[in-house]
Amino acid sequence: MSWSKSGGEAPRGYHHGNLKETLVRAALDLIGQKGPGGFTFAEAARAAGVSPAAPYRHFKDRDDLMAEVARRGFTAFADALETAWDKGRPDPRVALERLGRAYLAFARTEPAYYAAMFEANVPADATPELRAEGDRAFGALRTAAEAVAASLPSRPPALMLALHIWSLAHGIADLFGRGDKARRSLPMAPEDLLEAGVLIYLQGLGADPR
Amino acid sequence: MSWSKSGGEAPRGYHHGNLKETLVRAALDLIGQKGPGGFTFAEAARAAGVSPAAPYRHFKDRDDLMAEVARRGFTAFADALETAWDKGRPDPRVALERLGRAYLAFARTEPAYYAAMFEANVPADATPELRAEGDRAFGALRTAAEAVAASLPSRPPALMLALHIWSLAHGIADLFGRGDKARRSLPMAPEDLLEAGVLIYLQGLGADPR
DNA sequence: GCTTTATGTAAATGAAGCTCACATGACATC
DNA sequence: GATGTCATGTGAGCTTCATTTACATAAAGC
């Protein structure tokens, strides 16, 4: 049942028909296999079955493709965080924990995206779209921080709270959270490490110790 | 007064005499200027004034040179952390704050080392020496965590404490702590963000709020 | 049909990583 | 002091890559 070129080696004419999309997927595959440094423009072209020059019709250069992968990563990331937050239901603290787990789950299940987003040395504002999606991801965290801050008696500044949680989550993800690529092994699940950290942190801000 | 080859463009014979050292420094320079990805073996050779093949007499390949740079970085890092900790004087909490600041200071003042250590995709155990120095750096943090944990009424597990603080520090350094290379700008100094975070965290563990 | 525009190809350039055969010289040993 | 050996550089060459330029093909509108 291969009537289209989705997935397989469909013969094609002079024009590919879906090169841009194919290249992005190939790039994602390659990044997943060999890291953001190992991915080459030429190999992505080979994977798509086109000449080495063809990708230049769709991306300015190698970095531009990388930025597009990162942008899609941030889109998926922001979506995941917003979904996990679910408007703070049933209450901000529970929702925050869900958000933290979603953060680490993304790093774990989408290491290729995560690498393109945070390890490929793509400038945060390589393109306006990239900047926008990155802001949206951080916005999800920021929104959560605001709700949690408002629920605490000490009323801490929401931005600070967001930055602390983001940094902790990112640090854990970068150091321990990527399967076999992790820098060190851990005596517990990264998710649990993060949950414990956030819990302690919130208690430090005066949350009731449940 | 240039009677030796230290520092300048001293004419040299067939043999360089100090190539390995020169290459490491050149690599560090290049990494600082163009990032870990932009550094090339060939350019390091040019900087040292030798042919492109010469470096292979001292390093197995490009990654091997990178690993050596990272190793030296971890050595300097571990030294800095141990010095800052200063055996916990005058008391663990004060010393821990000093250690946290030293962590971020290193990331800020030695971005090239920090990049080689954490962004160059050098496996943590690329060489036994690298692993050893990395362990020593973490050991400094671990020692500090033990002393602080022992000083707290709740007696939290020291390893957990070390991992939380390391992750927070690394996350802040990676996201905000590298000057213009930072991913986002911050309304405060990274050092202050870290200090506030650790303070809140320790309060969550039952430390007296000073 | 004819033009315009988008999309690919071929060929070439320049740089990089790496290897191999060979050159040079530092040093030890007779 | 001649000689042999080992460490350290050189030169040339191979392969891969990024990127550009001129040209080819086809899809769409006229």
Sequential DSSP letters for B23-79: HHHHHHHHHHHHHHHH--HHHHHHHHTS-TTGGGGT-SSHHHHHHHHHHHHHHHHHH
Whether A107 shows a pLDDT value over 60: the answer reads yes
- pLDDT score of B10: 53
Whether A3 shows a pLDDT value over 60: the answer reads no
Strand C contact residues in chain B (160-199), C-beta within 7 Å:
none
> Model's pTM, two decimal places?
0.91
Tens of pLDDT along chain B (210 residues) come to 322 333 444 557 767 778 999 999 999 999 999 989 889 999 999 999 999 999 999 999 999 999 999 999 999 999 999 999 999 999 999 999 999 999 999 999 999 999 999 999 899 999 999 999 999 999 999 999 999 999 999 999 999 999 999 999 999 999 998 766 667 778 899 999 999 999 999 999 999 876
Q: Distance (Å) from the C-alpha of residue A36 to the closest C-alpha of chain B?
A: 9
Nearest DNA or RNA nucleotide to A49 (CA to C1'): C8
CB-nearest partner of B171 from A168, A199, A205: A168
Nearest DNA or RNA nucleotide to B17 (CA to C1'): D8
Is B155 near chain A, with CB under 8 Å? no
- pLDDT score of B182: 65
pLDDT in tens, A7-26: 444 557 767 778 999 999 99
Is B179 near chain A, with CB under 8 Å? no
Flag if A168 and B166 touch (Cβ within 8 Å). no
Q: Return residues 182-201 of A near B (CB < 8 Å).
A: 183-184, 186-187, 193, 196-197, 199-201
Q: Distance (Å) from the C-alpha of residue A204 to the closest C-alpha of chain B?
A: 3
Residues in chain A with CB shorter than 8 Å from the CB of B183 are 124
pLDDT in tens, A160-203: 999 999 999 999 999 998 766 667 778 899 999 999 999 999 99
pLDDT in tens, A54-93: 999 999 999 999 999 999 999 999 999 999 999 999 999 9
Rounded distance in angstroms from the CA atom of residue A97 to the C1' atom of nucleotide D13: 59
Rounded distance in angstroms from the CA atom of residue A96 to the C1' atom of nucleotide C23: 68
- pLDDT score of B12: 73
Whether A156 shows a pLDDT value over 70: the answer reads yes
Rounded Cα distance between B91 and B39, Å, is 43
Is A166 near chain B, with CB under 8 Å? yes
- Residue A53, both tokens: 């020059």
Q: Which of A4-13, A29-38, A131-140 has the highest mean pLDDT?
A: A131-140
- pLDDT score of A7: 40
Chain C bases near protein CB atoms (7 A cut-off): 6-12, 15-21, 24-26
* Closest residue in chain A to residue B195, using alpha carbons only: A164
- pLDDT score of A5: 36
A61 touches strand D (CB under 7 A): yes
CB-nearest partner of B183 from A124, A160, A176: A124
* Closest residue in chain A to residue B194, using alpha carbons only: A164
